[in-house]
Structure 1
């Protein structure tokens, strides 16, 4: 059986508004995180990306609101459970503001006290997960997307991506939130990036440079936390062979759920003496 103590898990939590940041979250999932996971494998670490909004882009508005509330509760639970590295994405939307009663129920479960008046789900995640936790601030990065060419979009599309074309109140709250983040986190933790707009597909694109920035930001933190295998003495061929075997077993058994009765019987047979195994039924 593999020595699971040899491997560790490094969670990275993604927080953002929903519809306007789909392209960025997809880029993290498809490009950035696979590369980061590969680098961590060399240090016997698993990457655990946590983005609880993946896979819900086809729900209706009413279903989306219910999903956001569920996501909020689970997000707070996950942040509290694993204290991960956080990646926060902000464009030009403040995000959905749920009924205060539901928001209050979510924070009461965590024993967290804060004003929830006119606060969006995303703003609460940021406050709970980063701004009110000095330790968490050391493991977090914010990425502010520069404005898209809203003036050339249809009014409907502009409202989808920017509160400036949708709600003056939400726009002002967003600016206040960004100001607080910038003041409390500083330039080393807040990045600004430029994305492009695909007019044919009507979606955000041109995220390669931003993705490289996120990759190197996270790797800079994780590299320091996971140690440098190059600092260890060169392994003998036996140790190298054992390491390859351990990695193979770890990879195959990580998500394995065994049949308890069968495994118990196999273990009993394997540990029994030859006489006891004679005539045993497999």
Structure 2
């Protein structure tokens, strides 16, 4: 990673994730630091949060450094090697952390961001895997302090540990060692929390923290063969691709030598590429590197295999129903990652599904001839008010905290649109009910046999056998109704309300108030939750 004064700003500074990991105390990597007295007092230009003594540390040559580093790694316990993260739901978030120096790896990072990760998302979505790439090129403002810069990087890695147990880690290596902060510039909390190693660059500390210490099986190191680039590179750009400092040069060369001693061959790949002139299409002149097809293919291949090995349950042979459910769940994870807390609306939804309706306003149908069914809940609002995000977060909350309290069926048309959504939803609900009855050995009290999904009364009979409440959530039913001529009363769930609504069935439907779906809702007795636009204070 580059020095913070040289970093570029593209997006606002991201919030830091404070994760306290219970690492045990380890022996220092160098000799104990001792204070030096000058004129009878301690001299320190540092602030109170930093180390408050001037330090003298022994100079390490590269061999001594790597010997000490190997001792340091060997002393670690593999406490997280079998930990696959704190995610309890079947669908998983996979965070991919990219670590490298910045000025020399713009092209490779662009390949990862624009080609590898999009292809990976397409590959993983059917298995219920959401891919989040952690590329910190633009995450550190140029005016950041040393502490802010380091914490931004290493706490992002901590977040990867929390979600995945072992980070999915991409390390890019060439001819730059990166910025090496002085030990007396580092706050004590960083030295102790991350067991900082003297003379290590920030990039190497990312390698150590995210991969070396736990012998991370999800780490992949791509080492560029840079002869073709350096021999053709204009002189003014060579310092961006190769360190001038002799110690840094020896360190990066030794890193290449040491990687095979720490990781097996399948976690290391050497690739070639070539200089292809300068590119100013982005408004800033950059070195253009081509020939990265093999780099792209190997990175994608490794990540696919690593994710499949790490979360094998997501890749077992499943029915089309399970695949559809995983895709829907992945859609919800993506949709709700920027959820803004709405406690009042959440409370309203929970009151409805738990039968606490005394404070809810009941709206009677405008058509007095409408059937007298159990009230459902309409979540109304304008386009963009956040109906899908709210219901998506609500669904994920139910799945995580109330998994066995409700028989949950949900459908978000933005997540998996079907031309005949009504038929698909009804079929999917029947299939899910049939599977539940079979798994729980629930049989008809009338016949003493299993219900047949082909029977006309299957839906009402199956709901009657459920030992837990049925909760149906439908979002975006009015999607695609550009001509406002749909007959919603003939579509699910309205076409099946008489079968669906029992004293332990709850249905939530979202809609916009200016579309025909809302007119259909007004013809049924229901509760209404009007969603208000978010205020500036909430954003």
TM tier, smaller? 0.7 to 0.9
The answer to whether the Cα contact below 8 Å between 1:73 and 1:106 also exists between their aligned partners in 2 is no
CA positional deviation for 1:274: 9.0
CA positional deviation for 1:171: 0.8
Are the structure 2 counterparts of residues 48 and 173 from structure 1 closer, same or farther at C-alpha, using a change threshold of 3 Å?
same
- 255, 263, 282: which is aligned to 2:346? 263
The answer to whether the Cα contact below 8 Å between 1:144 and 1:193 also exists between their aligned partners in 2 is yes
- TM-score where L is the length of structure 1: 0.80
Answer yes or no: is 1:47 the counterpart of 2:112.
Answer: no
Answer yes or no: is 1:215 the counterpart of 2:267.
Answer: no
- Residue aligning to 1:21: 105
Are the structure 2 counterparts of residues 69 and 208 from structure 1 closer, same or farther at C-alpha, using a change threshold of 3 Å?
farther
SS at match of 2:89: helix
- TM-score where L is the length of structure 2: 0.44
Q: Distance in 2 between matches of 1:27 and 1:67?
A: 30
Q: Distance in 2 between matches of 1:244 and 1:139?
A: 24
Q: Which has the larger radius of gyration?
A: 2
The answer to whether the Cα contact below 8 Å between 2:147 and 2:187 also exists between their aligned partners in 1 is no
Are the structure 2 counterparts of residues 233 and 15 from structure 1 closer, same or farther at C-alpha, using a change threshold of 3 Å?
closer
SS at match of 1:96: coil
The range that moved more, 143-152 or 103-112, is 103-112
Q: Distance in 2 between matches of 1:84 and 1:156?
A: 36
Are the structure 2 counterparts of residues 105 and 149 from structure 1 closer, same or farther at C-alpha, using a change threshold of 3 Å?
same
Q: Distance in 1 between matches of 2:326 and 2:116?
A: 26
**Greater relative CO, 1 or 2 (CA 8 Å, sep 6+):** 1
Could you say what the CA RMSD is over the residues aligned between the two structures, in angstroms?
A: 3.0
Q: Distance in 2 between matches of 1:250 and 1:32?
A: 20
Q: 5+ unaligned residues in a row in structure 2: which ranges?
A: 1-87, 280-286, 364-526, 531-539
Matching of residues 21-100 of structure 1 within 5 Å: 21-54=105-138, 63=142, 66=144, 70-81=148-159, 82=161, 83-100=166-183
The range that moved more, 91-100 or 124-133, is 124-133
Answer yes or no: is 1:154 the counterpart of 2:237.
Answer: no
- Residue aligning to 1:204: 289
Are the structure 2 counterparts of residues 73 and 242 from structure 1 closer, same or farther at C-alpha, using a change threshold of 3 Å?
closer
CA positional deviation for 1:229: 6.1
Q: Distance in 1 between matches of 2:181 and 2:128?
A: 41
SS at match of 2:255: helix
Higher helix residue share: 1
The answer to whether the Cα contact below 8 Å between 1:77 and 1:110 also exists between their aligned partners in 2 is no
CA positional deviation for 1:55: 5.8
Are the structure 2 counterparts of residues 38 and 245 from structure 1 closer, same or farther at C-alpha, using a change threshold of 3 Å?
closer
Count of matched residue positions in the alignment of Structure 1 and Structure 2: 265
